[in-house]
Amino acid sequence: MITLTALRAFDVPIQTPCITPENFTGKSLAEIKVLPVTEGVRNLTLGDLFKIEETNDGTSNITINGDCAKVKRVGQGMKTGEITVNGNIGMHTGEKMAGGKIIVNGNAGGWTGSEMKKGTIEIHGDAGDYTASPYRGNDLGMKGGLITVDGNVGTDVGCYNQGGVIKIKGNAGRFLGFHMSDGAIYVEKDVDVRAGALMTGGKIVVGGKMEILPSFTIDNVKPKVKVDSETNVAGPFYVFLGDLSEKGTGKIFANKAANPAFKFYEKYL
């Protein structure tokens, strides 16, 4: 196992796509220390920013210690192994991830898990805007894997989701699941406006308060809902179909007790 400990506080963005188990495997400490990174406009090496230590436990796992909220692209494209971050981590963590596991014992920046295909990301804090979403103008969303967030998430989370699972224990911002076509998003608490806008498939499950776009129609009331093979949530839930403006067949499950204003929809069942 390789342990990276921040040598100082970081004030400007740092690009570190080299921090993956694959890049470290088979390299000596001396080789890992000279892997290229950038801090702002300066070209540096990994050893300029982190104290690097090795534990001979037979794995290629990585532990990162310190506040690394400015450190971006950790775990980019990783396929195997495990990365544990003891502190905050910056944007694009786990981007294009195809396997393995990332654990963040802190907060994660925006675009975490963007274009993710496989693997698991656990965030034991809050996550930023565009979590599991592509860049603006891009429709290549999360295709697979699992992202869990113990805290809150920002806006535009799970946009263009094509098959991944996202579970959020806190609140979510507006445009949750925008244009999603498959997969599942579960938010245990409240969701801001425009959830599921332009969705064509998949499911969004909300345990707290939310609003429904007028382009969704009430379908039925369910006593419970299955998020994925691991999670079943007791309801009852109002089930809405849409987005009809896209001829969508996606489903939004809105907790009945948390949304008494939706009672008037029952006359259309």
> Average of pLDDT values for 108-137?
97
Give the sign of the dihedral formed by CA 245, CA 190, CA 137, CA 77: negative
Alpha helices in 44-193 (DSSP H): 46-49
For residue 254, which of 209, 192, 213 has the smallest C-alpha distance? 209
pLDDT above 90: residue 56: no
Concatenate the DSSP letters of all residues of 9-51 into one string.
Answer: ---S-EE-TT-SHHHHTT--HHHHHT-EEEETTEEEEHHHHEE
CA–chain centroid gap for 171, Å, is 14
How many C-beta atoms lie closer than 10 Å to residue 2's C-beta?
22
3-class secondary-structure state, position 65: strand
How many C-beta atoms lie closer than 10 Å to residue 216's C-beta?
24
For residue 164, which of 197, 125, 134 has the smallest C-alpha distance? 134
Query: Residue 57: its pLDDT value, please?
Result: 81
Report field, pTM of the whole predicted structure over 0.85: yes
Residue 198: both structure tokens together: 């332009």
- Residues of the chain with pLDDT > 90: what percent? 97
How many C-beta atoms lie closer than 10 Å to residue 11's C-beta?
9
pLDDT above 90: residue 96: yes
d(CA 156, CA 177): 7
3-class secondary-structure state, position 233: strand
Query: Residue 60: its pLDDT value, please?
Result: 84
d(CA 60, CA 24): 7
Residue ranges of domains in the chain: 107-259
Residue 117: both structure tokens together: 């295909």
Find out whether 73 and 97 touch, Cβ atoms under 8 Å.
no
Find out whether 225 and 215 touch, Cβ atoms under 8 Å.
no
pLDDT above 90: residue 105: yes
d(CA 38, CA 35): 10
Please write the tens of the pLDDT for every residue from 5-40.
999 999 999 999 999 999 999 999 999 999 999 999
Query: Residue 46: its pLDDT value, please?
Result: 98
